[in-house]
Amino acid sequence: MKRVGERQEALAGYAFIAVPMVLFLVLNIGTTLYAFFISLWDWNIRRGPEEFLGLQNFERILSDPIFQSAIRNSIYYTAIWVPLTMAIGLFLAVVVNQKIRGRTFFRAAFYFPAIASSAAITVLWIFLLQPDGLFNEIRGALGLNPLFQAIGYGPNHNWFGDYRTAMNSVIILNAWTTSGTFMLFYLASLQSISNDVYEAAAIDGAGPWDAFWKVTFPLLKPGHFFVATVGVIGGLQLFDQALIAGSSNGDPNNSLMTIVLYLYNAAFVQLNFGYAAAVGVVLFLVIFTATLIQRRLFGDTQPA
């Protein structure tokens, strides 16, 4: 009797997971394996595999100067954007975490830009940052132009149009969009710190500044690790903003060329699918390595 019930339950279980599992196995697992396979071929979109190349695609990728600038740009973006957004997010979380009136509103306000689409945000920022856009107008009206002149940017600087400032503009844009998300991650982490710790610190005579740096900051280590991991992986996948602001070439002067944009370009501009698949494999390895390094650096996050 019991055995029959168990069998029925198992059959019901398989029936329930059948459709989602088939989709995962085909569209996620299957395609991943297929990607490694395609990366070894000269692959034509209509005719399929044309010639077996072994690792030649990879050799060509690594020796292509445009790919080298793509990987430099992606790493530069990640190296600046992640810590910057973490700092802003942490700061906002600490401020919003205080017992003050209206904190729910402010929390919602800070997260607000993250609800809009990357395309809408990027188009909006292109408008704000164009030579006679709001940003340049406001800094002029505030009398900040001499300051910008001193570091080499004229009153009508084209922020996305100049290769020296295009990627930095994307960094600021995405810090603005994502600071609220990082704030929410940090808020979740802050809530795990017991009030007792602060009371003990206060009894020891620690001011708010000391309490933050000596108590809160180190206790947030698991939070830092989580936010940094999510950030680095997302940063290395930078694509939407680069394509919208810099088209598929990552203009100007490849300054917005990222690893994913390079992949997109290989697949849909050059129609070189085998090569594009190989770029995907390289990206996967880069992300995998970055995650492993982070795990080594702060991965032993047993809660204190």
Alpha-carbon dihedral sign for residues 293, 71, 266, 248: positive
Contacts with other proteins by CB under 8 A: the residue count is 137
Tokens of 31: 């395609």
Residue 233 found at the interface with other proteins (CB under 8 A): yes
Stretch that binds other proteins, among 2-10, 56-64, 65-73, 144-152 (CB under 8 A): 2-10
Backbone angles phi, psi at 44, to 5 degrees: -100, 135
Amino acid letter, 67: F
211, 202 in Cβ contact below 8 A? yes
> Both ends of the chain: CA-CA distance in Å?
50
Amino acid letter, 266: A
Query: What minimum distance in Å lies between the beta carbon of 133 and other proteins?
Result: 7
Tokens of 35: 């990607």
Stretch that binds other proteins, among 21-29, 56-64, 65-73, 145-153 (CB under 8 A): 21-29
Query: What minimum distance in Å lies between the beta carbon of 153 and other proteins?
Result: 17
Residue 281 found at the interface with other proteins (CB under 8 A): yes
Query: What minimum distance in Å lies between the beta carbon of 176 and other proteins?
Result: 7
Stretch that binds other proteins, among 50-58, 60-68, 143-151, 281-289 (CB under 8 A): 281-289
Residue 38 found at the interface with other proteins (CB under 8 A): yes
Query: What minimum distance in Å lies between the beta carbon of 27 and other proteins?
Result: 6
Q: Which of 4, 115, 142, 151 binds other proteins (CB under 8 A)?
A: 115
Q: Which of 53, 223, 254, 256 binds other proteins (CB under 8 A)?
A: 223
Q: Which of 189, 254, 255, 265 binds other proteins (CB under 8 A)?
A: 189
DSSP letters for 162-207: STTTHHHHHHHHHHHHHHHHHHHHHHHHHTTS-HHHHHHHHHTT--
Amino acid letter, 118: S
Q: Which of 50, 59, 132, 204 binds other proteins (CB under 8 A)?
A: 132
Residue 110 found at the interface with other proteins (CB under 8 A): yes
Q: Which of 79, 109, 144, 297 binds other proteins (CB under 8 A)?
A: 109
Query: What minimum distance in Å lies between the beta carbon of 199 and other proteins?
Result: 6
79, 236 in Cβ contact below 8 A? no
Q: Which of 134, 144, 269, 297 binds other proteins (CB under 8 A)?
A: 134
Q: What is the largest CA-CA distance in the chain?
A: 86
H-state helical runs in the chain: 2-23, 31-38, 56-63, 65-96, 103-111, 118-129, 134-141, 145-150, 166-190, 195-203, 208-210, 217-219, 221-236, 240-246, 259-268, 273-298
Query: What minimum distance in Å lies between the beta carbon of 143 and other proteins?
Result: 14
Tokens of 170: 């994307």
Q: Which of 86, 166, 226, 254 binds other proteins (CB under 8 A)?
A: 226
Backbone angles phi, psi at 49, to 5 degrees: -70, 130
Please, which of residues 51-90 interact with other proteins by CB under 8 A? Answer: none
Q: Which of 61, 70, 167, 235 binds other proteins (CB under 8 A)?
A: 235
Residue 237 found at the interface with other proteins (CB under 8 A): yes
Please, which of residues 144-183 interact with other proteins by CB under 8 A? Answer: 158, 160-161, 174, 176-178, 180-181
